[in-house]
C-alpha cells in the first residue's frame, strides 16, 4: 500500500518532468531543423547538384594541427611499426601536429565525418559521393596541390571523386580485396572465390567475411561469373531478384563462417591463432600476419571488388591549410610510394613508382595500367538508378543495409 | 557576509533545497531524460537512403519494422535468453560463495575473499573478453586442457558474460547474507529445520532483495553488451550489436531498436516491483 501510494505520486511528478524534457529537447532540435537539409538530388540522376560549399582559394600558414580520419595503415606514425612512419616527418616539415583516427568501414567514415571534428578523410568510392551529397566535404582546388599533377590520368575527374568536372579530393591509391588463406591449413593456393562460397564447407567454421553491407557485392561478383542466367553486369547494380540471389548465397556462407571482421586487428589475430583460415582480406593484413603465421593473399580468377581511395577535405575543416598540406604530402611521390607499399595497393601518383623500395612494385600492381584498373569493381554506393544503365529499378544501399542485417540474423 | 548569506538561506528553505538539488536534477533532466527523449524522437524520423542523413519526416515505419520483422524477434529472444542464462548462472555461483564468505569463513578470510571477488574488476573489460577468446577458440586453452571447447558462439558469450558480471552478483548477495542474523539460522535448526528447509524458509526470503539487486546488474549489463559478443560471439549478434551496426547505417532504426531494450528493462523492473522486493532493499 505504502509503496504503491508513493509510487503513484512520484510517477505523476516524473511524468511532468519527462514531458518538460521532451518539450525542451523538441524545441532545441526543431530549432536547427532548417539547416540540416541534405541538398541536391541523388547522384546518377541528370544534374546531381551538390550543396554549395566554398572552395579554398589559397593555402596560407599552417594552423599548427590537423585531424586525420583514415583507413588503417594510411597514416602510420610509428606506433604499429617503428620503421613505418610518415606522419612524424609531415609534422616536422609543416609544423602541423597530426592526430589520426582509424575507421573500419566506409559507413563508419561517413558517420564520423558528420560530426565535423575531422579535417581530412581517406574515402573509398562507396563513401565519396555520400559525403559530397550531404555537404560534409568541400570541393578541392587542385591548383593548390602540386602533387596532383602527377596523379594517374585515369583517376582524375572520375564519377566517384568529382561532380561536373569539379574534383572533390585527391586520388590516393587503388587495389583489390584479396582472398587470404593460412598456408598451414590450406595446402594449395585457392584460385577462386568459391573457396568462401560454394566450397566453403571444406573449411567449415573457419571462414571469414567482411562485416559491411558492401560485402554483398562480393557475392554478386561471384554470381556474375558462376550463374550467368542471373545476368549480373555490375555487382553494384542489382535488381531485387539478383540481390535476393546474393543474399541467399551469403546466408549459406554464414553456416561456414567463424566470424565477420571489420576491425583489421581482429582479422590478424584470427589468422594468427588459426580460428580463421580463409576469407576476404587486404594485402596490408596479410603483411601484418606474415611476421608470425605464413599466409597467402591471391586475386582469384573471378577478379575482385576493390577500392579507389580519395583524400577529401571536410566542409567545416577548422585547419584547412594544414589539411591541404597533408593532401599534398600524402600523395607526393615518396610518401605515396611508402603508403602504397605498406598497405599493398597501386599508388595514385605515377612518380611514386620510381620511389618504391622494390623497383618492380608498380608493375606487379599495374599502377599505370588503366585497362587493368578498369577491371576491378571498385566499391561504390548502390542507388536506385542502375549503375549499369539498365532501365529497371535497382536496389539501393538502404535495401542492402536491411538485407545485410538480415543475413547476420 | 557569509553569516548573512547563511541566515538568508536558513529563512528560505525552498531556496536551500533548490541549491542542493539543482545541479543533480538538471543533470538528470538534461542529460538523462534529454538523451532518452532524443532517442525517442530520432526513432520517429527517417533517413535519406543515399547520404544516410537523418531527415525529419515523422513516421512510425521504424517501429513497425522493429515490431513486425522476424529479424528483431529473433535477436530480442536471443538477447533476453542470454541475459536470463547469465543471471541464473551467476546466481548459482554467487550463492555458495557468498554464503561461505558471510557465514562460514573467519572475518579475516572473508575480507580476503571480498578482495578476491573485486580483483577481476581491476583488469580492463577488453582484456578479460580477449582472454576468454583465447580460452574458447579452436586449438585454444579449453581444447588442449579438456579436449573440447564450445568455440566462438553464444555458449562462449554466456560463459564470458557470466564471468564478467559475477562480482556484481556476489557482492549484493554477500551483503544480504551478512544482515541475516546467525541466531535465525540457529533457531531454524533448533526447530528441526534441515539445511534445505532453512535455506528456503529463512535465508532465501531474507536475501531475495539482494538477489534481485544483483540480478538487475547481471541482467541489464548482459542485455546491453555488444563488445564481448563481438569478441567471442562468432557470427551471432545480440541486440547491442544490431544497434551498433545500425547506428552507422541507419540511425532512426537504431533508435527504434534501442527502445526495445528500454522496454525489456522496464518490464523487468515492473515484475521486480510486483514481488515487493524493492520495499525491503
* Pairing relationship of beta strands A305-314 and A377-378 according to DSSP bridges: parallel
Contacts of A409 in chain B (CB under 8 A): 71, 74-75, 235-237
Distance between start and end Cα atoms, chain A: 45
Across the interface, whether the CB atoms of B279 and A3 are under 8 A apart is answered yes
Quick one: cell of B202?
A: 529463512
**A138 has pLDDT over 70:** yes
Per-residue model confidence as pLDDT tens digits over A233-252: 999 999 999 999 999 999 99
Best of B43, B48, B51, B139 to substitute, by most chain A Cβ atoms within 10 angstroms, is: B51
Cα–Cα distance measured from residue A60 to residue B47, given in angstroms and rounded to the nearest whole number: 38
- The CATH number of whichever domain residue B92 belongs to comes to 1.10.3720.10
Least confident stretch, A269-283, A357-371, B81-95: A357-371
pTM score:
0.82
According to the model, what pLDDT value does residue A297 have?
92
- Whether B279 and chain A come into contact, CB under 8 Å, resolves to yes
B7 belongs to a structural domain = no
**A409 has pLDDT over 60:** yes
**Structural domains of chain B, count:** 1
Cα–Cα distance measured from residue A222 to residue A220, given in angstroms and rounded to the nearest whole number: 5
B58 belongs to a structural domain = no
Q: Which residue of A has its CA nearest to B41?
A: A26
B194 belongs to a structural domain = yes
Tell me the shortest Cα–Cα distance from B56 to chain A, in angstroms: 7
Domain range enclosing B140: 65-280
Quick one: cell of A132?
A: 559530397
Using CB atoms and an 8 Å cut-off, which of residues 109-128 of chain B contact chain A? none
Tell me the shortest Cα–Cα distance from A95 to chain B, in angstroms: 34
Best of B34, B72, B137, B248 to substitute, by most chain A Cβ atoms within 10 angstroms, is: B248
Please, what is the average pLDDT of chain B?
Answer: 90
According to the model, what pLDDT value does residue A11 have?
42
Best of A105, A206, A209, A405 to substitute, by most chain B Cβ atoms within 10 angstroms, is: A405
More reliable by pLDDT, B59 or A327: A327
Please, what is the average pLDDT of chain A?
Answer: 86
Across the interface, whether the CB atoms of B234 and A398 are under 8 A apart is answered no
**A24 has pLDDT over 60:** no
B44 belongs to a structural domain = no
Nearest to B249 among A17, A22, A107 (CB): A107
Grid-cell match 581530412, residue found: A120
| Interface ipTM | 0.80
B13 belongs to a structural domain = no
Q: Is A176:A299 a contact under the CB 8 Å cutoff? A: yes
DSSP assignment of A5-35 equals HHHHHHHHHHHHHHHHHHHHHHHHHHHTGGG
Cα–Cα distance measured from residue A160 to residue A167, given in angstroms and rounded to the nearest whole number: 10
B32 belongs to a structural domain = no
Q: Which string of b and e fits A136-152 if b means at least 16 CB within 10 Å?
A: bbbbbbbebbebbebbb
More reliable by pLDDT, A148 or B54: A148
The whole-number average pLDDT for the span B13-33 is 86
CA atoms within 13 A on the CB side of A8: 4
According to the model, what pLDDT value does residue A87 have?
95
Q: Which residue of A has its CA nearest to B232?
A: A259
Cα–Cα distance measured from residue A223 to residue A230, given in angstroms and rounded to the nearest whole number: 8
> Would you place residue B135 in the very low, low, confident or very high pLDDT band (cuts 50, 70, 90)?
very high
Phi, psi for residue B96 in degrees, rounded to 5 = -65, -40
**A403 has pLDDT over 90:** yes
**B256 has pLDDT over 80:** yes
* Pairing relationship of beta strands A170-176 and A346-347 according to DSSP bridges: antiparallel
Across the interface, whether the CB atoms of B50 and A33 are under 8 A apart is answered no
Quick one: cell of A403?
A: 538485407
**B203 has pLDDT over 90:** yes
B46 belongs to a structural domain = no
According to the model, what pLDDT value does residue B281 have?
60
Contacts of B51 in chain A (CB under 8 A): 38, 110, 130, 133-134
B10 belongs to a structural domain = no
Cα–Cα distance measured from residue A39 to residue A62, given in angstroms and rounded to the nearest whole number: 31
Tell me the shortest Cα–Cα distance from B40 to chain A, in angstroms: 9
The whole-number average pLDDT for the span B177-204 is 92
Best of B69, B135, B249 to substitute, by most chain A Cβ atoms within 10 angstroms, is: B249
According to the model, what pLDDT value does residue A285 have?
92
Cα–Cα distance measured from residue B96 to residue B94, given in angstroms and rounded to the nearest whole number: 6
Contacts of A229 (CB under 8 A, 6+ apart): none
β-pair partners for B54: B47
**B278 has pLDDT over 80:** no
- In angstroms, what is the C-alpha Rg of chain B? 24
Q: Give the DSSP letter of residue A119.
A: S
Contacts of B124 (CB under 8 A, 6+ apart): none
DSSP assignment of A176-245 equals E-EEEEETTT--S---SGGGTTTTGGGGTT-EEEESSGGGHHHHHHHHHHH-GGG--S-TT---HHHHHH
Across the interface, whether the CB atoms of A408 and B55 are under 8 A apart is answered no
Contacts of A17 in chain B (CB under 8 A): 29, 33
Handedness of CA A99, A104, A106, A109 (dihedral sign): negative
**B176 has pLDDT over 80:** yes
Contacts of B231 in chain A (CB under 8 A): 266
Tell me the shortest Cα–Cα distance from B187 to chain A, in angstroms: 31
Cα–Cα distance measured from residue A81 to residue A84, given in angstroms and rounded to the nearest whole number: 5
Across the interface, whether the CB atoms of A258 and B278 are under 8 A apart is answered no
> Would you place residue A306 in the very low, low, confident or very high pLDDT band (cuts 50, 70, 90)?
very high
According to the model, what pLDDT value does residue A48 have?
66
Nearest alpha carbon to residue A109 among A155, A74, A147: A74
Across the interface, whether the CB atoms of B50 and A43 are under 8 A apart is answered yes
Per-residue model confidence as pLDDT tens digits over B41-93: 989 998 887 777 788 889 898 999 999 999 999 999 999 999 999 999 999 99
> Would you place residue A388 in the very low, low, confident or very high pLDDT band (cuts 50, 70, 90)?
confident
- Whether B234 and chain A come into contact, CB under 8 Å, resolves to yes
**A19 has pLDDT over 80:** no
**A16 has pLDDT over 70:** no
Cα–Cα distance measured from residue A253 to residue A395, given in angstroms and rounded to the nearest whole number: 21
According to the model, what pLDDT value does residue B280 have?
63
Helices then strands (H, E): number in chain A?
Answer: 13, 15
According to the model, what pLDDT value does residue A28 have?
40
Amino acid at each position: 500500500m505504502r509503496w504503491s501510494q508513493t509510487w503513484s505520486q512520484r510517477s505523476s511528478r516524473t511524468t511532468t518532468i519527462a514531458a518538460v524534457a521532451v518539450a525542451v529537447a523538441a524545441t532545441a532540435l526543431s530549432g536547427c531543423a532548417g539547416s540540416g537539409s541534405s541538398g541536391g538530388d541523388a547522384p546518377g540522376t541528370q544534374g546531381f547538384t551538390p550543396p554549395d560549399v566554398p572552395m579554398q582559394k589559397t593555402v596560407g600558414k599552417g594552423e599548427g594541427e590537423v585531424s586525420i580520419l583514415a583507413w588503417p595503415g594510411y597514416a602510420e606514425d610509428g606506433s604499429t611499426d617503428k620503421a613505418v612512419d610518415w606522419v612524424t616527418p609531415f609534422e616536422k616539415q609543416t609544423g602541423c601536429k597530426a592526430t589520426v583516427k582509424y575507421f573500419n568501414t566506409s559507413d563508419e567514415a561517413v558517420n564520423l565525418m558528420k560530426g565535423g571534428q575531422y579535417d581530412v578523410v581517406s574515402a573509398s568510392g562507396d563513401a565519396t559521393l555520400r559525403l559530397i551529397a550531404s555537404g560534409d566535404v568541400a570541393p578541392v582546388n587542385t591548383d593548390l596541390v602540386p602533387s596532383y599533377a602527377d596523379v594517374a590520368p585515369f583517376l582524375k575527374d572520375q564519377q566517384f571523386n568529382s561532380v561536373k568536372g569539379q574534383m572533390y579530393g585527391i586520388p590516393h591509391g587503388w587495389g583489390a580485396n584479396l582472398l587470404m588463406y593460412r598456408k598451414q591449413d590450406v595446402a594449395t593456393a585457392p584460385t577462386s572465390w568459391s573457396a568462401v562460397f560454394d566450397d566453403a564447407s571444406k573449411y567449415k567454421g573457419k571462414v571469414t567475411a567482411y562485416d559491411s553491407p558492401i560485402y554483398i557485392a562480393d557475392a554478386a561478383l561471384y554470381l556474375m561469373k558462376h550463374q550467368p542466367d542471373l545476368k549480373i553486369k555490375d555487382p553494384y547494380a542489382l535488381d531485387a531478384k539478383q540481390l535476393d540471389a546474393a543474399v541467399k548465397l551469403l546466408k549459406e556462407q554464414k553456416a561456414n563462417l567463424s566470424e565477420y571482421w571489420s576491425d583489421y586487428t581482429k582479422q590478424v589475430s584470427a589468422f594468427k591463432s588459426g580460428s580463421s583460415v580463409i576469407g576476404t582480406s587486404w594485402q596490408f593484413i596479410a603483411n601484418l600476419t606474415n611476421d608470425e603465421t605464413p599466409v597467402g593473399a591471391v586475386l582469384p580468377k573471378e577478379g575482385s571488388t576493390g577500392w579507389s581511395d580519395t583524400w577529401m577535405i571536410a566542409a567545416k575543416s577548422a585547419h584547412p591549410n594544414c589539411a591541404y598540406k597533408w593532401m599534398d604530402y600524402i600523395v607526393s611521390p615518396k610518401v605515396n610510394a611508402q603508403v602504397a607499399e605498406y598497405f599493398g595497393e597501386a599508388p595514385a601518383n605515377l612518380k611514386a613508382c620510381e620511389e618504391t623500395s622494390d623497383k618492380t612494385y608498380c608493375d606487379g600492381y599495374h599502377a599505370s595500367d588503366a585497362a587493368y584498373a578498369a577491371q576491378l569493381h571498385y566499391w561504390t554506393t548502390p542507388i536506385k538508378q542502375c549503375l549499369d544503365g539498365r532501365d529497371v529499378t535497382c536496389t539501393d544501399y538502404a535495401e542492402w543495409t536491411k538485407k545485410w542485417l538480415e543475413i547476420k540474423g | 557576509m557569509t553569516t548573512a548569506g547563511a541566515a538568508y538561506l536558513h529563512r528560505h528553505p525552498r531556496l536551500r533545497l533548490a541549491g542542493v538539488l539543482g545541479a543533480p536534477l538538471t543533470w538528470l533532466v538534461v542529460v538523462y531524460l534529454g538523451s532518452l527523449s532524443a532517442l525517442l524522437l530520432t526513432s520517429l524520423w527517417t533517413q535519406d537512403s543515399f547520404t544516410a542523413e537523418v531527415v525529419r519526416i515523422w513516421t512510425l515505419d521504424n517501429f513497425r519494422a522493429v515490431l513486425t520483422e522476424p529479424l528483431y524477434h529473433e535477436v530480442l529472444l536471443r538477447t533476453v535468453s542470454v541475459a536470463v542464462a547469465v543471471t541464473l548462472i551467476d546466481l548459482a555461483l554467487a550463492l555458495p560463495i557468498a554464503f561461505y564468505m558471510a557465514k562460514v569463513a573467519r572475518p579475516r578470510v572473508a575480507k580476503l575473499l571480498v578482495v578476491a571477488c573485486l580483483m577481476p574488476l581491476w583488469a580492463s573489460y577488453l582484456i578479460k573478453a580477449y582472454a576468454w577468446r583465447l580460452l574458447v577458440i579452436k586449438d585454444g586453452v579449453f581444447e588442449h586442457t579438456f579436449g573440447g571447447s564450445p568455440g566462438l558462439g553464444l555458449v562462449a558469450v554466456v560463459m564470458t558474460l557470466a564471468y564478467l558480471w559475477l562480482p556484481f552478483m556476489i557482492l549484493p548477495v554477500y551483503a544480504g547474507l551478512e544482515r541475516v542474523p546467525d541466531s535465525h539460522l540457529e533457531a531454524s535448526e533448533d526447530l528441526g529445520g534441515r539445511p534445505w528447509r532453512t535455506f528456503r524458509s529463512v535465508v532465501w526470503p531474507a536475501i531475495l532483495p539482494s538477489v534481485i539487486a544483483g540480478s538487475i546488474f547481471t541482467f541489464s549489463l548482459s542485455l546491453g553488451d555488444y563488445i564481448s559478443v563481438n569478441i567471442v560471439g562468432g557470427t551471432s549478434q545480440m541486440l547491442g550489436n544490431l544497434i551498433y551496426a545500425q547506428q552507422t547505417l541507419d540511425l532512426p532504426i537504431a533508435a527504434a531498436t534501442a527502445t526495445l531494450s528500454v522496454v525489456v528493462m522496464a518490464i523487468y523492473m515492473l515484475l521486480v516491483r510486483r514481488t515487493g522486493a524493492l520495499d525491503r532493499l
